[in-house]
Amino acid sequence: MNNNHIAVIGAGAWGTALAILFARAGKDVTLWARDKTRADSMRATRHTPRLPDAVLPASLTITHKIPEADILLLAVPMQHLRQILPLLPLSPPVLLCCKGLERDTLLLPPELVANRPAAMLTGPNFAHEVAAGLPAAAVLAMPDATQRAALMEALHTSTLRLYGSPDIIGAALGGAAKNVIAIAAGVVMGAGFGENARAALITRGLAEIARLATALGGKSETISGLSGLGDLLLTCTGTSSRNFSLGLALGQGQSLEHILGARTEVTEGVATAPALLARAQAAGTDMPITEAVTNLLAGRRNIPQTMAALMGRALKDE
């Protein structure tokens, strides 16, 4: 596999951070922005409002035209993934860096990209820390062991340690579902329910994600690793998490419409929650926290009713 040229599709915070990471590591990198004006501005100023403290390396090429590359990293929001796929060249492998489920089809990223070799790059990573060169780890999940090893060799850097996994479904689910649990964790803290409640919620959230992973053909042990537990812990405790901060604001009494209206970045958990619940129901899997978040976001229950419903569930063994 020739891995000389990496193209990152999507100039949001995460895509830009990845482009900075690989360019700083000496790789030939092109960053694609959908909007020509944004691409021109980033190219001229070597800055982006998505990562205000980061400087774009001089070696990083920025364009609004889809580039040819040896490896494609797709860092567009999950709900835009289907629109981007037909624009891409067919030959190179695709690394999916988006997290969530498609709202209408309930598909995970690798299920949406079923007609070409694809991998998931996922884990507990905040974009601004990766862009700053702080140490991090991630999972590269792909069923084909040979291709997986080649991609890991091509993409590891001195500040990003990669671990391989054949379980692409489990890795994708962990990255999607943690955003929903993080909204719940934010609500808990915003409403003043305390650290005990957050710890319990994270633990039980992990259990329900593992149940669904197994039902969909993934492995429960994947959910105990970086792409599951690692990402869940970061997103449920880190103040930089968009999903946690949205839940925090909800818990403090702000409306969902007001919170989203003040944001420029996508908060994936809002769209993921009802899709994840529908996917779980179709698989016959109980996900009470996901159901609670979905009802709260839809306005069907308020926070006291939501907490009462969770605490009043039938007793059972762990």
pLDDT at 309: 93
**pLDDT tens by residue, 177-186:** 999 999 999 9
Determine the average pLDDT of the residues in 62-67: 96
pLDDT at 32: 98
**Residue 2 confidence (pLDDT) above 70:** no
Among 115, 113, 263, 236, residue whose Cα is nearest residue 174: 236
Q: What separation in angstroms does the CA of 188 have from each of 35, 224, 273?
A: 38, 23, 17
CB 316 within 8 A of CB 286: no
Q: Which residue has the higher pLDDT, 39 or 93?
A: 39
CB 38 within 8 A of CB 63: no
pLDDT at 115: 84
Determine the average pLDDT of the residues in 163-191: 98
Rounded Cα distance between 151 and 11, Å, is 22
Phi (first) and psi of residue 88, to 5 degrees: -90, 150
Determine the average pLDDT of the residues in 135-146: 97
**pLDDT tens by residue, 222-246:** 999 999 999 999 999 998 999 999 9
**Residue 129 confidence (pLDDT) above 70:** yes
> What residues are annotated to the active site?
178
**Residue 3 confidence (pLDDT) above 80:** no
**Residue 12 confidence (pLDDT) above 70:** yes
- Band of the pLDDT at 194, cuts 50, 70, 90? very high
- Band of the pLDDT at 266, cuts 50, 70, 90? confident
In order of their start, the domains of the chain are 5-166 (3.40.50.720), 169-311 (1.10.1040.10)
3 state DSSP class of 123: coil
Among 181, 96, 106, residue whose Cα is nearest residue 139: 96
Q: What percent of the chain has pLDDT over 90?
A: 94
Q: What separation in angstroms does the CA of 175 have from each of 90, 197, 205, 299?
A: 25, 22, 13, 25
Q: Which residue has the higher pLDDT, 91 or 200?
A: 200
Structure tokens at 26: 């000496």
Length of the chain: 318
3 state DSSP class of 203: helix
Rounded Cα distance between 145 and 17, Å, is 27
- Please state the pTM of the whole predicted model: 0.94
**Residue 1 confidence (pLDDT) above 60:** no
pLDDT at 54: 97
Determine the average pLDDT of the residues in 137-141: 98
3 state DSSP class of 218: coil
CB 176 within 8 A of CB 216: no
